A and B are shown apart, each in its own frame.
Chain A
Amino acid sequence: MHTKTLSELKTGLAKAEFSSVELTEYYLQRIERHNPDLNCFITTTAELARKLAIEADQKRKKGDAGSLNGIPIAHKDIFCTEGVRTSCGSRMLDNFIAPYESTVTAKLAQAGVVMLGKTNMDEFAMGSSNETSFYGPVKNPWDFERVPGGSSGGSAAAVAARLAPATTGTDTGGSIRQPASLCNVTGLKPTYGRVSRYGMIAFASSLDQGGPMAATAEDCALLLNVMAGLDAKDSTSVDLPVPDYSANLNKSIKGLKIGLPKQFFDSGLDQNVARSIQQALDEYKVAGAKLMEIDLPNMPLSVPAYYVVAPAECSSNLSRFDGVRYGYRVSDPQDLEDMYKRSRGEGFGAEVKRRIMIGTYALSAGYYDAYYKKAQQLRRLISDDFKQAFTKVDVIMGPASPTTAFKIGEKSDDPVAMYLSDIYTIAVNLAGLPGITIPAGFVQGLPTGLQIIGKHFDEARLLNVAHQYQQRTDWHQQVPNIFK
């Protein structure tokens, strides 16, 4: 059953080949069996899932099944889910039972999904390896000694090991696309504003975007159909019609113009990964696409720009975790300042504290112009580079990560090396563009991912381009032996 895609499960449920109760039970058992090895769930909601599955089956009988009725999925633990712990991977929120529902999870629930649980993640989505989680690192299903990537590492690993047919993730600097690459999963970061951020715990508000992770682009399309759209509760969500993302999947990509930024294929890229990506690009050539080199001259500045903007916003966004109203609070505060200092000092992990400090510094009087303002200017330049490129090409392609999955602990003491693992994904967030990662092959048994970047709100084309590749290849169907 777990080898079926979400799309196939949907058909199976519709044809009553199996019930949602059976399907849900099946995945709950897989989680029970494999999660201890992988640690990709922070919370499993078995009881709730069983209840939702029964309801879904009843709804189907009554004929009012939503588009994803009865499909079990898991949510990144960054989305508030009413009545369920929403920890954001942090000790700070270990005791936080969300009293309200995020827009993304509400929409998916409305469509009939069955929530299996909440997936592990880097603390407050700050990390590229899932090692910053208060709940311990997630293991890469392809090699338990390696990281799954981050910050949506739990979501990526859960799909890769088929502990859930699909998951939600969020992407601030590559947090969907990089773990998708490291785990052999398809992951889409939509255009900024396409999916509501309401109820998604903020890391860097101008960069954060939720999106789907699944085995195939076709599955991601089904999920995005539900997730996307204007939300009156999010002023930055955009009022544009949501197309049927499944409608154009089979469109021919003959004549598609693909731009290859020379900055994506520089010396920082692992040679084996480069070869794997080249093979994927060759496949597109065979399919009739035209490849051309493009220049994104300011792209190398994206990492420094990002590591000013994102920490600056995070330093402010995380101020609400003060121990006053919810979350971790020291038991014996001497006075207010002591309560603040120790609650935050003990509630947050090292990486979160590092970023709060960087951000606080960047926004301080006398430094604002030199850092925050300058970073915003760089952001504009990076955005203009893409705009320029898209006058010549339809999509841009390159690797999603410079390497395959690295070893747990390998980079955890070297923040800069860690930050560079997002070098190919960060610029996309700074420009607010959509990007998708699809499985592109293997290097020494570890998956590689091809990243496809589109124009603003061109998700339908990204999914079409990704789907066409998946029609010609079977990398996306590969599952580690022990999870087969």
Chain B
Amino acid sequence: MQWETVIGLEVHAQLATRSKIFSAAATAYGAAPNTQACAVDLGLPGVLPVLNKEAVRMAVKFGLAIGAEIPSRSVFARKNYFYPDLPKGYQISQYEQPIVEAGYLDITLEDGSNKRIGITRAHLEEDAGKSLHEDFHGASGIDLNRAGTPLLEIVSEPDMRSAKEAVAYLKTLHALVRYLGICDGNMQEGSFRCDANVSVRIKGEEKLGTRAELKNLNSFRFVERAINYEVERQIDVLENGGEVIQETRLYDSDKDETRSMRSKEEANDYRYFPDPDLLPVEIEPSLLEQVHSELPELPAAKKQRFCSKYGLSAQDAVQLTASREMADYFESVLADSGVEPKLAANWINVELAAALNKDGLDIEASPVTAEALGKLLKRIADNTLSGKLAKEVFEAMWEGAGSVDEIIEKRGLRQITDTAAIEAIIDKILADNPAQVEQYRAGKDKVFGFFVGQAMKATQGKANPAQLNKLLKDRLIQ
């Protein structure tokens, strides 16, 4: 049987405001428990929420960036349920009238084609605190530092058809919120959290299958693995004549599996109603205009421009526009060095990306600055360095051994491009290895590599590879 996977994602993006959504307490991560929770965050009797205007502005910014309708009026509602880390016994959220209505996000698939993913809505809400179950014998501790942190919950349509598409959407969304400067995107610290609604149906079927909601997906990799696991599990259940239950499932990354958390029958009735402590949020057209004028070039537009202006492939452009900092780095390499965009793109997407990944660094923290990389690429362009030598120089630069030219000078890495010098080396090798020369001339082409190796060994790898190849061939044919 042919199955089709259907995925919708709910993302909670923590907005990068300095203070909380309804109080003046700081939002910084990692403070000692309960040191960043004021009377309002603690839900003391008599306290009242006051809306953080910056959070509203950020939500509007997001709405404009996804081409969504921003209603002139939205309403905060109380979502009522009991939980120890929910201080008021209700979460202030938005229900019937969210701040951002339907919009969309275009994603690029692996084959370079585009797909449009619908975004149903995005709404503002406050985060809860954290329950700490370790270090308290037979009891739990509550840390309310996170309580009241502003979140934008972004709900997609069930438009994705594979784990890979889900990840592509998530990465695109991740890039977008970071471009907009509304979320730091840190998945480890929980600033960008994702729940996935996953179901399967027989291909061609209209009706959606029963879905499971996957939680605890705190990296792109886990999102992909959890969805893949869950899809297989559901297909397995169905093919064995079972039924998928609508439930919440927790992803366990250690065991790489999803486990049932609670089924919907036990679900709360949240008794939503408009929060009488807060006035409806009125968005003036002037605010929309102002926020619109402040929008940066968005990833999709930037990607488009990189393809058309620099002649890059879609995949290269996607990678380079994954973050604003990465794109800025690329463009500043070009501006500094004037090298071919393709060369710069390759170096950034391959060598630099690998080095950053290895050391777990963001582009902003790269030890090799855009200016330095530009200089290196220039030395490739002017034939001072071969690709191989350039890699060696790059590694040295990464270790902080100095500038490109200093390293070339110090280590004598300048490429040998003098024809006469290369010819002299070739002649000596051919003279020393008459047997191999015979073999080559008898049609054993493989021996050619042997001569290249010998020549490179003799020049400590500094011979210009293209020149060496050409001159070697010329000599052997003679």
Contacts and interface: CB of A to CB of B under 8 A. Distances in A.
Interface string A316-352: 1011111011100000000010001000000000000
A79 B45 CA distance: 9
A201 B46 contact: yes
Interface in A347-395: 360, 363-365, 368, 372
B367 interface: no
A93 interface: yes
A292 interface: no
Interface in A243-257: none
B80 A336 contact: no
Q: Which of B44, B50, B90 has the most A CB atoms < 10 Å from its CB? A: B44
Contact of A316 (B44, B46, B49, B90): B90
Contacts of B277: 202, 205, 235-236
Given A360-B271, A368-B273, A235 B49 contact: yes
B25 interface: no
Given A316-B90, A363-B273, A364-B269, A322 B82 contact: yes
Contact of B39 (A96, A100, A313, A363): A100
Nearest to A199: B46
Contacts of A318: 89
B51 A80 contact: no
Interface residues of A, number: 44
A205 B39 contact: no
Contacts of B269: 364-365
Contacts of B45: 80, 86, 88, 93, 96, 98, 201-202, 320-321, 326
Interface string B80-104: 1010100111100000000000000
Nearest to B80: A316
B370 interface: no
Given A312-B273, A316-B78, A102 B48 contact: no
B187 interface: no
A336 B89 contact: no
Nearest to A336: B84
A319 B39 contact: no
Given A313-B276, A340-B82, A319 B46 contact: no
B43 to A, nearest CB: 5
Nearest to B81: A319
A80 B46 contact: yes
A368 B87 CA distance: 24
A197 interface: yes
Contacts of B39: 99-100
B142 A233 contact: no
B276 A320 contact: no
B80 A326 contact: no
Given A236-B279, A312-B273, A320-B87, A102 B46 contact: yes
Q: Which of A102, A200, A233, A364 has the most B CB atoms < 10 Å from its CB? A: A233
B278 interface: yes
B14 to A, nearest CB: 23
Interface string B42-59: 111111111100000000
Given A100-B44, A365-B269, 9 more contacts: A86-B46, A197-B46, A233-B48, A235-B277, A235-B279, A316-B271, A319-B89, A336-B84, A363-B272
22 contacts: A80-B44, A86-B46, A98-B44, A99-B44, A197-B48, A202-B45, A205-B277, A233-B48, A235-B48, A235-B50, A313-B276, A316-B78, A319-B88, A320-B87, A321-B45, A322-B82, A325-B42, A360-B271, A363-B80, A363-B272, A363-B273, A368-B271
